[in-house]
A and B are shown apart, each in its own frame.
Chain A
Amino acid sequence: MKILIVDDFSTMRRIIKNLLRDLGFTNTTEADDGLTALPMLQAGDFDFLVTDWNMPGMQGIDLLKAVRADANLASLPVLMVTAEQKREQIVEAAQAGVNGYIVKPFTAQTLKEKIDKIFERIDGGG
């Protein structure tokens, strides 16, 4: 399982990376915004994307849309981990095809639940 973590704050990337390692996901790579993440996704064989929303360059929501618009990446599971908590934004992310949405500050337990749920659905074919 190869995971790309996208956040402009390195502290948050480290936190997510450590939490993922605790959950058994050791193969993680980091990017600091959508502009650097997109070519990495297109070039690499990532199985999962964890992204922030509010970033300079390309924002997480635009990265999500770009992923869904790319035939090779369209089915990549995307989990958004963000401080953005306007209802309008959550609806927008859902409509853009996000697989999970976590608001900061979050707990290790929340991250585990959302990831489990995403893979349950994928494994269940739903």
Chain B
Amino acid sequence: MSDATNDAAETQEDILARAEELVREMQAGNEERVQTLLDLINRSREEGIYHEVGKMTRQLHDTLNAFCEETRLDQIADEIPDARSRLRHVITLTQQAADRSLGAVEATLPTCDQLSTRIHRLGESWQNFKRREMTVEQFRALSSELEGFFVDAEQDTADIRSGLNDIMMAQDFQDLTGQIIGRVIELVEEVEGNLVDLVRITGTRLTPQENDKEKKETAELKPDVEAEGPVVPGVTKADTVSGQDEVDDLLSSLGF
């Protein structure tokens, strides 16, 4: 600001000097010189304004350039579509988990119902047997049904167990989607921070260098091999394995 005031003061002194000369020349009746002096005064004012506007434009341009470089704004712009893909992948994963759980429930419930019906029927027969209200034929039938039940019940409970296990494994979506959403939250926070910076810069014409130190320090803390989170189709570009088999192959190639 002090520079601008000095510039203005000098210009004013110049103008004053010219104005005094202008009065003298007008009194002397030197019209040609009067015209030249008027032009000079006008031009110097215009030049001052152009100079100021030019300076402001350059400063704004430099600041915005520096801002874009330092805040990796263009990279963030690239990451927004990625964030959309990540969130869509979250929808897919939650959908799959819900389908898998509901599928397991739908497959397991009839087994439970059948088991329950048979247990009820066998229970009734058993009571009849205890009350001695049973013929030898009926007892033979009960005995044979019980034997079949023992075999089936073992299979049925194994099926129910497997259904429950499937429902449990489907819950792994919470970890995987949690990691993906966590990444998107980080991006949103970064965008928010940069927007606040941008407002601050355009408001006060400050350079964004104040944050630099902090940002560089955080960058230095990052480990050599960084955690990436789950692979998201269409987003993850790094050299990844596609499943457990490839992990096993890679490890065995390393002597595991």
Interface residues of A (CB under 8 A from B): 7, 9, 11-12, 14-15, 18, 22, 53-54, 59, 61-62, 83-92, 94, 101-108, 110
Closest CB of chain B to A14's CB: distance in Å? 8
The answer to whether B241 touches A90, judged by C-beta atoms less than 8 angstroms apart, is yes
Query: Could you tell me if A11 and B165 are in contact, using CB atoms closer than 8 angstroms?
Result: no
Q: With A53-B227, A85-B241, A88-B225 in contact, is A108–B169 under 8 Å at CB?
A: yes
Q: Other CB < 8 Å A-B pairs besides A18-B168, A62-B223, 12 of them? A: A11-B174, A12-B174, A22-B165, A83-B229, A84-B229, A85-B240, A86-B239, A87-B241, A88-B238, A88-B239, A104-B172, A106-B172
- B112 shortest CB reach to chain A, Å: 20
Seen from chain B, the residues whose Cβ lies within 8 Å of a Cβ on chain A are 165, 168-169, 171-172, 174-176, 178-179, 223-225, 227-231, 238-244, 247, 250-251, 254, 256
Do the beta carbons of A90 and B239 come within 8 Å of each other? no
A105 in complex: contacting residue of B172, B178, B240, CB < 8 Å? B172
Output the least CB separation between B153 and chain A (Å).
20
Q: How far is the CB of A102 from chain B (nearest CB, A)?
A: 7
Minimal beta-carbon separation of A9 from chain B (angstroms): 4
CA distance A90 to B178 in the complex (A): 22
Residues of A contacting B247 in the complex (Cβ-Cβ under 8 angstroms): 85, 90, 101-103
Q: In the assembled complex, how far is the CB of residue A91 from the closest CB belonging to chain B, in whole angstroms?
A: 7
Instruction: Name the contact of B239 in the complex, choosing from A9, A59, A87 (C-beta under 8 A).
Output: A87
Asked whether, in the complex, the Cβ of B175 is within 8 Å of the Cβ of A86, the reply is no
Specify which chain A residues have a CB less than 8 angstroms from the CB of B254 in the assembled complex: 91, 94
Whether A105 touches B225, Cβ cut-off 8 Å, given contacts A94-B251, A94-B254, is no
Q: Inside 8 A of B231's CB, which chain A residues have their CB?
A: 83, 85
Across-interface contacts of A101 in B (CB, < 8 A): 247, 251
In the complex, the chain B residue whose C-beta lies closest to that of A87 is B239
What's the Cα separation between A38 and B165 when bound, in Å? 31
Contact between A103 and B243, CB atoms less than 8 A apart: yes
What's the nearest-Cβ distance from chain A to residue B223, in Å?
A: 7
Chain B residues, Cβ within 8 Å of A54: 179, 227-229
Q: Chain A CB within 10 Å — which of B172, B175, B242 has the most?
A: B175
- A91→B250 contact, CB < 8 A: yes
How far apart are B252's CB and chain A's nearest CB, in angstroms? Answer: 10
Could you tell me if B241 and A9 are in contact, using CB atoms closer than 8 angstroms?
no
In the complex, chain B residues whose CB is within 8 Å of the CB of A102: 244, 247
- Measured in the bound complex, the distance between the Cα atoms of B92 and A117 in whole Å is 33
Chain B residues near A22: list those with CB within 8 A. 165
Q: Which single member of A9, A83, A90, A91 contacts B174 (CB below 8 Å)? A: A9
Is the Cβ of A84 less than 8 Å from the Cβ of B178? no
Contact A90 B175 (CB under 8 A): no
Residues of A with C-beta under 8 A to B238: 86, 88
**Nearest 7 A-B pairs (CB), nearest first?**
A54-B227, A83-B230, A9-B175, A11-B174, A12-B175, A85-B240, A92-B225
Q: How far is the CA of A92 from the CA of B225 in the complex (A)?
A: 8
Residues of A within 8 A of B240 (CB): 85-87
A28 CB → nearest B CB, Å: 15
17 A-B contact pairs sorted by A residue (CB < 8 Å): A7-B175, A9-B175, A11-B172, A11-B175, A54-B228, A59-B223, A59-B227, A83-B179, A84-B229, A86-B238, A88-B225, A90-B247, A90-B251, A103-B244, A104-B176, A107-B169, A108-B169
